[in-house]
Amino acid sequence: MGNEAVAEGAVYAGCRFYAGYPITPSTEIAERLARRLPEVGGTFLQMEDEIGSMAAVCGASLAGAKAMTATSGPGFSLMQEMIGFAAMAQIPCVVVDVMRGGPSTGLPTEPAQGDVMQARWGTHGEHSVIALVPDGVRECFTLTVEAFNLAEQYRTPVIMLSDAMVGHMRESVVLPAPGELRVAERGLPDVAPEEYDTVASTVDNILPRPPLGSPWRVHVTGLVYNRRSGAPDTADPAAAADL
């Protein structure tokens, strides 16, 4: 099943934290990870809602874990505030949206592709978005691995846009063996703590996000911030331009 392949791809990629709230047609991802994550030393949390789920994912990633959540349209709407925070604070994570008919409760068990614009423009403000779209069970696995790689490389939330058809599709596939696909590890910055720069000048010199509690002290905020310390800096137009 596509949703189960997403879960297995997440484990393959090194995901060790999941927080989510059950919603059709994505629930099989949570069900699978509820079993798989404890087997690999990970943590699974069923949260009170999608707002809390996305907040927990941000917190886990800041603490150093590869983290993800999964939802569908109504839950994706609730996550937008924290997705915007993750984009602003440069928090790597993966959000899987298994799309269904909408708006509102819509068609909970039917496939649709109405969240494409929401993936790009769902949260306010201007920021780049990475979205991957699987077309079958194998791509549900491989693109989930790639989603984690891109999240780590660019320090940003990455959206996986599946739908009810792909998520519930069943087919026989041969999944990649361990080591067959590239898996980007978080790592630590290769500069001294006092030289750590929170804002890269190009996409080729983005430093890994250090975990909270490490020697690389970084202030985390949703405000415009100073590139050197990460502390809020809303008075300097150059700070906003850097971001």
Per-domain residue ranges of the chain = 2-168, 189-242
What are 57-110's pLDDT values in tens digits?
999 999 999 999 999 999 999 999 999 999 999 999 999 999 999 999 999 999
- Helix or strand or coil: residue 138? helix
pLDDT in tens, the chain (243 residues): 999 999 999 999 999 999 999 999 999 999 999 999 999 999 999 999 999 999 999 999 999 999 999 999 999 999 999 999 999 999 999 999 999 999 999 999 999 999 999 999 999 998 899 999 999 999 999 999 999 999 999 999 999 999 999 999 999 999 999 999 999 998 888 888 888 887 766 666 788 888 988 898 788 999 988 877 778 888 888 777 777
Q: Under CATH, which architecture does the 2-168 domain have?
A: 3-Layer(aba) Sandwich (3.40)
Look up the pTM and report it.
0.94
Instruction: Quote the distance between the C-alpha of residue 30 and its chain's center.
Output: 15
